[in-house]
Amino acid sequence: MYSARRIALGLLAAAAVAHAADAASDVTQLNKETFEDFIKTNDLVLAEFFAPWCGHCKALAPEYEEAATQLKDKNIKLAKVDCTEESELCQSYGVEGYPTLKVFRGPENITPYGGQRKAASITSYMIKQSLPAVSVLTSETLEDFKGTDKVVVVAYIDASDKTNNETFTKAAESLRDSFPFGASNDAALAEAEGVTAPAIVLYKQFDEGKAVFTEKFEDEAIKSFVKVASTPLIGEVGPDTYSSYMSAGIPLAYIFSETAEERKELGDALKPLAEKYKGKINFATIDAKAFGAHAGNLNLPTDKFPSFAIQETVKNQKFPFSVEKEITLEAITSFVEDFDAGKIEPSVKSEPIPETQEGPVTVVVGKSYEDIVLDDTKDVLIEFYAPWCGHCKALAPKYETLASLYGESEWKDKVVIAKIDATTNDVPDEIQGFPTIKLYPAGAKSNPVDYSGSRTIEDLIKFVKENGKYGAEVSEKAEEETPVAPAASSSSSSSSGSGDGGSTSTSTSSEAAKASDVHDEL
């Protein structure tokens, strides 16, 4: 049996070799015998940890091959490890999902691969990794260097100026995954480029072609210069750029349009405005065919384009431009000026504020959220629900009982039991599932407490008592007088209330519903 196994393994190994040879691959397949040696003898290696059955791995394979071939003569090696055969090796590198890509500079220096899984991205990412964070440039190499990427950053520093050299190098280290950085101490070259040391020039293959930094060299100032100057005047919002726009710390103005021609046309029309607000408001087009649903997040219709909106990215406020009006430089200029002057109210999606509160539970809408939930004199328990959510329906009768108990108690002016339909009203909180229940204690509105207990009246009372300012407790006695049977039976016919506090989306499997029935106390 032992020898049979050896033969089988031998066959597998031979098959693997034959396969690799067939494809004439530039990707080196490694195992636990060869891995260590390979990363010791090659200065820069990108390793993919994969499983043969994994779909994303299959999609990556041809891209990975192509990148390996392109990087071959740059002495950057691409390797792969089959984790179904080398589980120990994969575990030792903390691989948790497939594919996992890691950059190795020797066995000690390992960083996650931060690019996209496309040949071009892999190639450009790894070339950047292979360069020192700052390349030393001369009059011979500068022009070539400018061509290495859409944006490159070059410092002109005196040979004796150690302080500025260090400051620039530090900033470059932290941005090395995004841009190539270079430096020169050739005064004549600086002059030819129109600057005097110390200065930084950001060369870009779009817009005005370059931007110059002549302020005092400081880490933050350099980084923010690079961030602003490298952002195209009119960029494009997409999966690659969205998060950097959201973290830019300044508002983003979206130009939604369904065709590339129209996006170009509108972008060109608004360029003077984008120029004027550069560094203050980012402007970008967005493909409404692919990402039209995003218009809804900005309180714009999702079926009427072109359209325009500004998002205040820090406070997450939305300022949609009326789709009834035409997008012209003039109209958008006055809209943006008003926005900048604080003259436009953010758009809040909201149902009308109810004229009277019908039931025991206080109904909150987008427009009354601040007045009710953030009322600093009251402990407010609020449920974020969706009309289609089964667990929310199951909770409803219990929640009403809870509201009645407080409403008829000595605490009626101190404790509010509220609910908001989070599908038809903007809420400032991020809601992960329905129902979400939070307590906003009086005097501590910026520190809401998430409810994660079971959805029983008893536990909800305990939660309000323990986390609210007033320690308000009511007795559950009245509950026995409330007929609950009809509610309970209707809830078990749809999906049922959860006893363990787990939130859910639309559908609940019948098993889960049964399991939570067990915990359901009403």
Active site residue 83: no
Task: State the Rg of the chain over Cα.
Answer: 30
Instruction: Output the CA torsion sign for 111, 112, 115, 120.
Output: positive
Catalytic residue of the set 25, 38, 42, 54:
54
Annotated catalytic residue: which of 30, 39, 47, 57? 57
User: Is residue 187 a contact point for ligand NAG (CB under 6 A)?
Assistant: no
Q: Is 368 in the site for ligand NAG (CB under 6 A)?
A: no
185 belongs to the binding site for ligand NAG (CB under 6 A): yes
- Which position among 79, 81, 142, 183 is part of the footprint of ligand NAG (CB under 6 A)? 183
Among 28, 123, 129, 165, the residue binding ligand NAG under the rule CB under 6 A is 165
The answer to whether residue 79 forms part of the interface with ligand NAG (CB under 6 A) is no
Q: Nearer Cβ to ligand NAG, position 12 or 159?
A: 159
Q: How many CB atoms lie within 10 A of CB 220?
A: 8
Least distance (Å) from ligand NAG to the CB of residue 185? 4
* SS3 at position 241: coil
Q: Assign 3-class secondary structure to 243-290.
A: HHHHCCCCCEEEEEECCHHHHHHHHHHHHHHHHHCCCCCEEEEEEHHH
Min separation Cβ 146 and ligand NAG, Å = 16
Q: How far is the CB of 202 from ligand NAG (least distance, A)?
A: 16
- 389 flagged as catalytic: yes
Is residue 164 a contact residue for ligand NAG (CB under 6 A)? no
Q: If binding means CB under 6 A, how many residues of this protein chain bind ligand NAG?
A: 7
What is the rounded CA–CA span in Å between residue 310 and residue 282?
A: 9
Interacting positions 119-148 with ligand NAG (CB under 6 A)? 136
Give the distance, in angstroms, between the CA of residue 435 and the centroid of all CA atoms in the same chain.
Answer: 23
Q: Which stretch binds ligand NAG (CB under 6 A): 75-83, 183-191, 331-339, 514-522?
A: 183-191
Phi, psi for residue 16 in degrees, rounded to 5: -65, -45
Separation between Cα atoms, residue 281 and residue 356, nearest integer Å: 42
Burial of 355: CB neighbours in 10 Å, binned 0-12, 13-18, 19+: exposed
Looking only at the bridges linking them, the beta strands covering 27-29 and 77-82 are parallel
Interaction of residue 222 with ligand NAG, rule CB under 6 A: no
∠ Cα 167 172 174 (to 5°): 105
Minimum distance of ligand NAG from residue 229's CB (angstroms): 20
Q: State the catalytic residue, choosing from 284, 361, 389, 405.
A: 389
- Does residue 12 interact with ligand NAG by CB under 6 A? no
Based on the residue annotation, tell me whether 57 is a catalytic residue of this protein: yes
Residue 184 or residue 425: which is nearer to ligand NAG going by CB? 184
**Token pair in block for residue 505:** 């989306």
CA distances from 30 to 23, 79, 82, 159, 287 (A): 16, 7, 8, 45, 42
Q: Which is nearer to ligand NAG, 134 or 364 (CB)?
A: 134
Distance CA 134, CA 180 (A): 7
Given candidates 184, 231, 368, 456, which one binds ligand NAG under the rule CB under 6 A?
Answer: 184
Within 10 A of 339 (CB to CB), how many other CB atoms are there? 19
Options 177-185, 342-350, 398-406, 420-428: segment touching ligand NAG (CB under 6 A) = 177-185
The angle, 0 to 180 degrees and rounded to 10, between the axes of the packed helices 162-175 and 219-230 is 50
Query: Does 309 interact with ligand NAG (rule: CB under 6 A)?
Result: no
Which residues contact ligand NAG (rule: CB under 6 A)?
136, 157, 159, 165, 183-185
Residues known to be catalytic: 54, 57, 389, 392
